[in-house]
Amino acid sequence: MADGGGQAPPGGEGEAGAKVAEGVADDAGPGADLPFDKEAASSLLGGAIAKAAACRGDGEPRGSARVAITFAPSGRITQATVAGPPYAGTATGGCIARTVRDVKIRPFAGAPITVSKTVTIR
């Protein structure tokens, strides 16, 4: 199969393994003329938050963590910050941030968007 210059065909799907909202082609650029898809972001983050619930490090307590997540117009997460005790600056906090950064939504028009989620650490 020819690689077509490394670009997906119009209406094609994103790269294998990318967590992109269902039914959305991943070939739109950052200037996409679509608004931020809050439902897709919430749904995909929900799965990542569920995985992050298992991030508790040895000797760290169970509890809740608030995470601020910033989406760039490209649909990628540019920042995930765990705020406050007991997980900010810990291995558990780092694990939570890495886990949510794997999420990608379709590109959207406008400025970066920050959302907050709570992770309950088991």
Q: What is the pLDDT of residues 55-80, one digit of tens each?
A: 998 888 999 999 999 999 999 999 99
Between 3 and 114, the more confident residue is: 114
3-13 pLDDT tens trace: 444 333 333 33
In a 3-state reduction of DSSP, which class is residue 104?
strand
84-99 pLDDT tens trace: 899 999 999 999 999 9
- Give how far Cα 37 sits from Cα of 2, 40, 58, Å: 33, 5, 37
Give strand pairing partners of 103: 19
Average pLDDT over residues 24-44: 75
Domain 19-121 has CATH 3.30.1150: yes
